[in-house]
Every structure is written in C-alpha cells, then in structure tokens.
Amino acid sequence: MPVAVIAGVGLTAFGRQPGLGVRDLAQAAAVAAVTDAGIPLDRVAAVVVGNATQGATEGQHGIRGQIALSGLGLSPGPVINVENACASGTTALHVALAYVLSGMADVVLAVGVEVMTQAPHPDLLAAFEGSWDVADREAALDRLADFSRGVPVPSDAVELPGRTVFMDVYAAFARDHMRRFGTTQRQFAAVSAKNHAHSMHNPYAQYRKAFSIDEVLCGKTVLWPLTVPMCSPISDGAAAVVVCSADLADPARAVRVLGTALGHGGGWDGVDPQRHVSHQTALRAYAEAGVDPRDVDVAEVHDATAVGEIQQVEHMGLVPYGDGGPAAERGVTTVGGRIPVNPSGGLESRGHPIGATGLAQVHELVTQLRGEAGARQVDGARIALAENSGGLVGLEEAAVAVTVLEAPSRRRS
C-alpha cells in the first residue's frame, strides 16, 4: 500500500485581484505547487479541482477544472471537479489522497480556486445561498431565530445591508454561544485582533494591518455581535497541493497526512455539542491519526467569522467547551501561546476565496511543519490540524473536513 505525502504546496496572493480570472489564479497556484514539489507538470497523473461559485457567477459549469487548467501542459489523465461549498478545497485534497493511496495515480494535484470580487454581486449571493438546502430555507431561518432568543441586542445596533446570509447564520451562532457559555463580544474581538496580528507576517494575506481588540469592537456592525473585522471578506485566490507516494518526495520537505476525515450531517440539537458533526468528524480524524488533541501544535480552523473559530477550537478539542472565547482573550491561541490557531490570519484576515480556503490552510500548515513560516512560525511544530467546513454546519446537512498532518520525517531545521 503506498504511503501518501504532501510534497508541494502553492498559493497566490489572496484579495482583490483585478483582471485575473479563474484560469490565471488556478494555473499560478498549480505551477507554484509542482515547483515546490520538484515534480514536473507533465508528471502529474490526475488533478482534482474545487470551486464553489463559478457556476453561479460566470455560468461556467461542467468541466471547470479542465478549462481552468487548459494549456498548462498536463498529462491526459483524470481531471475531477469537486464541490462541497466552503469545504471544496479540502474535498479536493481528500480525493487526491484516495487516488494516491489506491495506486490509481502516483502524483495528484489538488487545486482550489475562486474569483469573487469581479462577479456581479447578486450572482455571488445566489452562489452563497445555493449552498443551503434551497427548498428548506424558511425552516433553516426559523431554526436560526431560535438560536438568537434570550440574548439582548443593543438598542442602537444597526445592520449592514447587502451582507451574505452566512453573516446572519454566524450572528445567530454567536448569540447561541453567548447564551450558553457567557461568551462576550470582546472575546470575539480578541479572536479577530489575534488573527489580524498574525497575518501581518503572511505575505499572501488579504489584510496585513493590526487591529486592537477595541478597534475590532469599534468596527462597523455587520449584524450584532459581529463587526466587519470579525468577518471573512470577499476574496480572489487559488491554492494547490501536490499529493504523491512517499518515494517520489523529498523526505526533508514532505508532510505526512496522518488522518483525514470528511463528514456530513448536522447534529447540533442545542444541547449536546459532542454530537455536532464537527466534533464527530474530528474524533474520526484523531482516531485515524493516532493522536490526541493535546498533541496538536498548531491549527488552522474555519473562522468565516470570529465565532466560527471559537466553535471549532472547542469541537476540535483544542480547548474545553465554553473556553474558546476566554482562551483567545488569554492569548492561548496566539502564536507563542499553548495552541496557536490560524497563524496565517485565518479566513478573517488572510481572506476566503471559497474553493481555495481548505488548501490555503494546508499551505500554511505545511509551511509551519517545515519550519519555514518566518515571523509567524510556531516553534517546534510537529503535529498540525486543519478544519474546513461548508454549508450550514450543525444546523442542517453540511460538509466538514478535518486533516491531521505531521512534520517531515527528516526536517532539516
């Protein structure tokens, strides 16, 4: 049975990239990844491409990946287009791993790409809303309203028009967390301030500007308790990862995938968080990896908003339930703290080009595990965790991906 490793990673800058389309970004990330792996493009035996919005925004369906990568000089093997909403990138990685482990291909390129800033806004909203069950929207909104009960909203709180529906979802999740655990708006702000500080040192990040906790709190309100700096922006960008059998990779730079779980379902009944699909998927990934949450040295989690990070560090078992907010305030999740989370800046500050996000997390963690993360390096990181989710996670059917990675067996640094 082959052993699969991540041999190379590639990333474009995230953010507003006028004039660059899906093809430009996807090809740039693909070339960067194979260059990093030291494997020629024509040696790639299969490609898996994740994208979430190009159907809705550009009318490009069908064979998006083939079209995005045409002219690049790939071998004539499989190109598989995958989608799992905001988890599309990690889903591409998952399929790439299956290919390599199956022996069906020895070198597989996973690419995630999204162009969002140049799309007509109504179409982009349609793409977002299409990642819910479109026939069940009213019921989902009713369940969201339930989450918001019992949390007083300041009488002067305004709402940002034109926001995506996911901001309403996260605002409801935030109020739910406040009611159950006493989490404060200041703690949400602490998460965001931390992530914005991290991405000061990330050359790929959309934002490289520090915000104090008070500055985050003073940001424009999107929907209480969320302010603009707490929310992931609209972004363009691409990320790519080369997965191959271990014998084809440089052992000093290859990162081993210890565990990878992709889950679906809902499970959040408002009572027992351990039944939540995120927690259940994490348990499967840890079991496969043979590690414990305490073994994790660094994590990238899906902070589409600050509350997302708090929920996920709890579901991943990195901090106890209810301690996500206080832990951020105490600096536990800051680089230099006990368990640094989102050293890249996360979705909030690195940016969130949907299909690219999961692979951008892997890019960051591979960089960390190789000891090449510069000023944002987590010292001595050996075990890393990525969590990437799509859909109304917990509330109805959704996709959750958890990946556990290990540092190169013969890391030089």
Q: Report the alpha-carbon distance of residue 115 to residue 14 in Å, rounded.
A: 10
**Nearest-approach distance from CB 211 to a copy of itself, in angstroms:** 31
**Nearest-approach distance from CB 32 to a copy of itself, in angstroms:** 21
- Residue 67 makes contact with a copy of itself by CB under 8 A: yes
Give the start-end residues of each E strand in 145-289: 221-223, 226-227, 237-245, 255-265
Q: Tell me whether residue 1 or residue 271 sits nearer to a copy of itself (CB atom).
A: 1
Q: Tell me whether residue 71 or residue 336 sits nearer to a copy of itself (CB atom).
A: 71
Q: Which runs of consecutive H residues, i.e. helices, occur in 10-77?
A: 22-37, 54-58, 64-68
**Cβ partners under 8 Å of residue 406, min gap 6:** 255, 256, 258, 369, 382, 383, 384
Q: Draw the binding track, 253-282, toward a copy of itself (x: CB under 8 A; -: no contact).
A: ---------xxxx-----------x--xx-
- Per DSSP, 136 falls in state G
CB 198 within 8 A of CB 344: yes
**Nearest-approach distance from CB 108 to a copy of itself, in angstroms:** 10
Q: Tell me whether residue 213 or residue 283 sits nearer to a copy of itself (CB atom).
A: 283
> Which of 387, 392, 334, 333 is closest to 361 using CA atoms?
387
Q: Report the alpha-carbon distance of residue 76 to residue 99 in Å, rounded.
A: 16
Does 86 participate in catalysis according to the annotation? yes
- Residue 63 makes contact with a copy of itself by CB under 8 A: yes
CB 107 within 8 A of CB 39: yes
For residue 409, the number of C-alpha atoms closer than 13 Å in the C-beta half-sphere is 12
Q: Which of 5, 6, 28, 74 binds a copy of itself (CB under 8 A)?
A: 74
- Residue 58 makes contact with a copy of itself by CB under 8 A: yes
Q: Which of 73, 120, 121, 133 binds a copy of itself (CB under 8 A)?
A: 133
Does 218 participate in catalysis according to the annotation? no
- Residue 94 makes contact with a copy of itself by CB under 8 A: yes
Q: Which of 5, 6, 28, 82 binds a copy of itself (CB under 8 A)?
A: 82
Q: Report the alpha-carbon distance of residue 27 to residue 20 in Å, rounded.
A: 11
> Which of 72, 75, 92 is closest to 84 using CA atoms?
92
- Residue 170 makes contact with a copy of itself by CB under 8 A: no
Contact range with a copy of itself by CB under 8 A, out of 29-37, 87-95, 165-173, 216-224: 87-95
Please pick, among 94, 196, 315, 352, the residue that the annotation labels catalytic.
Answer: 352
Using CB under 8 A, count the residues that bind a copy of itself.
61
CA angle 302, 81, 364 (to 5 degrees): 35
Q: Which residues are catalytic?
A: 86, 352
Contact positions vs a copy of itself (CB under 8 A): 1, 21, 46, 52-53, 55-56, 58-64, 66-67, 70, 74, 76-85, 91, 94-95, 97-104, 126-127, 129-135, 262-265, 277, 280-281, 390-391, 396-399
